[in-house]
Structure formats: structure tokens, C-alpha cells
Amino acid sequence: MPQPTRDQLGALLRVHRPMRPLYAWAFLVAISCPFAILAAIGPPGPVVGVIIFLLFFVPFTYAFGEWLLLQHRIHEHALVLRSIPGLRTYVVPFHTVDADDIAVRPRHRVPRGEFHVAQRHQRECPLVEQSLHVTGLHPDEARRLAKGRLGRHDIDAGYETARWRLSFRDAHRNGRLLADAVRASRGAQRR
């Protein structure tokens, strides 16, 4: 089964990145450079420095990219959530979203001393203070839909929901846009 098409998603209304990509990439390079510089100073030279840089940069990118390189794409009929290409992408169709249940909340903070593994429905950047809380298609099903392993008819038959937490720099404005898009999508589907 193919991935959702542009016709199924509808026109792209807005792309939001909680953290500007230039800053995120600069941070990832900056935390990898000290190791590369120390390796390049030694006798083997710059070649080892480049290898060491890549050995740190790639894992750091995949470890921190899930938070720093988030991208929320609001389409006419779905919300597409992704970060680095190749990592998890989720498609949350608007017919699974309750427009009246979209709320702006402070970003979830983990108490000091507690180890916390982020859940798939937490698409929050640690540097952004506000999140939109949206009830929609469960992450497992949203992931399968993004991969093309789940069709709309499968979702219409019954689906599980989850409370998504999505970082937005201007959460109030984006929350209104998302709620309006959900209502418009539902109105278009009824016709």
C-alpha cells in the first residue's frame, strides 16, 4: 500500500519547526567539533579528525534530532509530524482529531532526578515553552499510516486515540489554525 498522497493530505497550509533548523544543525556541529579538533591535532592529522567528527556527529544527530529538528506540517486533511528524514513520521488524519479539544499548555517538564523516556506522542523541543495538546490517531496507527501500511478504510472501522503534545513557538496562533483546518476538513468531507 503506498504512502498517503498529496491529494489525500490536501494542500500544505503551514510548516512549523519549533527550533530553527540553522540553530539545531549549528548545535549538533558544535557538540561534535571538540572531539574532532582534539583528534585532528594529534599525529595522524586532519583525516582522523574528520572521521572522529563523523563518528560523533551522526549519533548525536539521531539522538538529539528527534527533539531539535521537529517539523509539524499542517495540511488540509491531516497533520504530518516528522523530524530527520529516515526517522519516524506520523500522519494524523483530521477526522480523528477533536477540534474543540486542542489546548495550549506549558511544555511538559521532567522532575529533577527522574529518568524519563519520551513517548512517541510527545513531539516537544526542550527549548520551546509551549505545547499544543491534541487528541488524535494513536502513534502506532499514525506511523503505520505514514508508511502506507494502513488505509483510511482501516481507520474508519475503528481506531485508538492518544493525546499528542506538540511544541509550537506561537502555540495560540497555530492552535487556531489547526482547529480551523480540522473543522474545514470535516466540512469538506461531509459534502
Q: Tell me, yes or no, whether 1 lies in a domain.
A: no
Judgement on whether residues 42 and 126 belong to the same structural domain of the protein: no
Are 140 and 46 contained in the same domain?
no
80 and 12 within one domain: yes
Cβ–Cβ under 8 Å, residues 58 and 64: no
Which structural domain, as residue segments, surrounds residue 51? Answer: 24-64
- Please list, in sequence order, all residues whose beta carbon lies within 8 angstroms of the beta carbon of residue 179, skipping any fewer than 6 positions away: 99, 100, 102
* pTM of the predicted structure, to 2 decimals: 0.77
Residue 32 lies in a domain: yes
CA distance 22 to 26: 6
| pLDDT per residue of the chain (191 residues) written in tens, 0 to 9 | 455 666 678 888 888 888 888 888 898 899 888 878 887 787 777 888 888 888 888 888 888 877 788 888 899 988 888 877 667 788 888 888 988 889 888 876 655 555 444 556 676 667 778 888 888 888 888 888 888 765 555 565 567 888 888 888 888 898 899 999 999 987 776 65
Q: Are residues 177 and 93 in the same domain?
A: yes
Structural domains of the chain, count? 2
Give the C-alpha separation, 191 to 187, whole Å: 7
Plot region of 45 (φ>0 → left; ψ -120 to 50 → alpha; else → beta): left
